[in-house]
Amino acid sequence: MAELTGKRVLVTGASRNLGAAVAERLAQAEMSVAVNYRTSKTAAEELVARLESETGRAHVAVAGDMGDAHDAQEAIGTAVERLGGPIDILVNNAGPFSITPFAELAEEEWDRVWDANVKATYLAVRAVAPAMKAAGWGRIINLSAVSAYVRNRSIYGLSKQAIVTLTEQLALELAPEVTVNAVAPGQIEESVQELAEFSPEWAGQVRARTPAGRLVRRAEIAEIVYLLCTHAFDMVTGVTIPVEGGLRLPRF
């Protein structure tokens, strides 16, 4: 872990769920973490307080809708100021879910999902990449999803597939100083209840179709994000790593 001690990290959408798990794992590796939130101020501040107590390092909560150019710039500027220097590692985690069929999809819902998943990634990268390039080192890790590999997940699947392409493009643009990779989780065990409103049978169906026989856990995804930050992955860039127990594999 010593290789990452003192690195400054921004995790978007990190007040709860997967984002919080990623923030916690990177804080455990002796990095200083900016926890971005849009509306969950209390949750973000409570997470920061816990991380500071557990690690003895300074962490910060920064507000902002990362899909809005002004908010994103303000949030990143605040993170840089309060962490004491430019962002070394960016984790683009924010990304709301929707599977409303395209023929029924309201324009507002399209914008909400697309902007938070795709536009937010572009805006954050645009803000942090110059300093990473100048420093000669940086890591950008984007969160895609297994929904990118199927064709019945509407705007969410489309946006997560766009993240795959954007990751590859950015890996070319920002080389050699910065590596850019993505992680594509499957259905997350701890989030099953939240998705029950879409389909009560969802979790059982996914488990039945997953060769690993279970759903992925947040801590497992957070560990992959951490590993992508290390020198062991210096020669890995432009890839999307599925973490879903084989769920994406086609079958007849």
The tens digit of pLDDT for each residue in 84-110 reads 999 999 999 998 999 999 999 999 999
What's the whole-number mean pLDDT along residues 61-90? 97
Mean pLDDT for the chain overall: 95
Residue 69 amino acid letter = A
Average pLDDT over residues 5-20: 97
pLDDT computed for residue 89 by the predictor: 98
Indicate the pLDDT class of residue 41, thresholds 50, 70 and 90.
very high
At 79, the pLDDT band (50, 70, 90 cuts) reads very high
| Domain boundary assignment for the chain | 2-190+218-242
Give the pLDDT confidence of 130-154 residue by residue, as tens digits: 999 999 999 999 999 999 998 989 9
Residue 156, pLDDT above cutoff 70: yes
Token pair for 139 = 């890591």
Q: Going by DSSP bridges, is the β-strand pair 8-11/89-92 parallel, antiparallel, or unpaired? A: parallel
Question: Residue 67: what are its φ and ψ, rounded to 5°?
Answer: -85, 0
Q: What is the pTM of this model?
A: 0.96
Average pLDDT over residues 198-217: 89
Give mean pLDDT, residues 99-124: 97
Phi, psi dihedrals of residue 84, rounded to the nearest 5° = 90, 20
Three-state SS at 230: coil
Where residue 194 falls among pLDDT bands split at 50, 70, 90? confident
| CA dihedral sign of residues 68, 71, 77, 79 | negative
Domain 2-190+218-242 in this protein, CATH class: alpha beta
Residues labelled catalytic: 156
Q: What is the pLDDT of residue 2?
A: 80
Instruction: Please state the rounded mean pLDDT for residues 70-82.
Output: 97
Residue 1 scores a pLDDT above 80: no
Calculate the alpha carbon distances from 190 to 18, 100, 186, 214 in Å: 9, 23, 12, 12
Please tell me the least confidently modeled range out of 81-90, 172-181, 187-196.
187-196
Three-state SS for 194-217 is HHCCCCCCHHHHHHHHCCCCCCEC
pLDDT at 155 over 70: yes
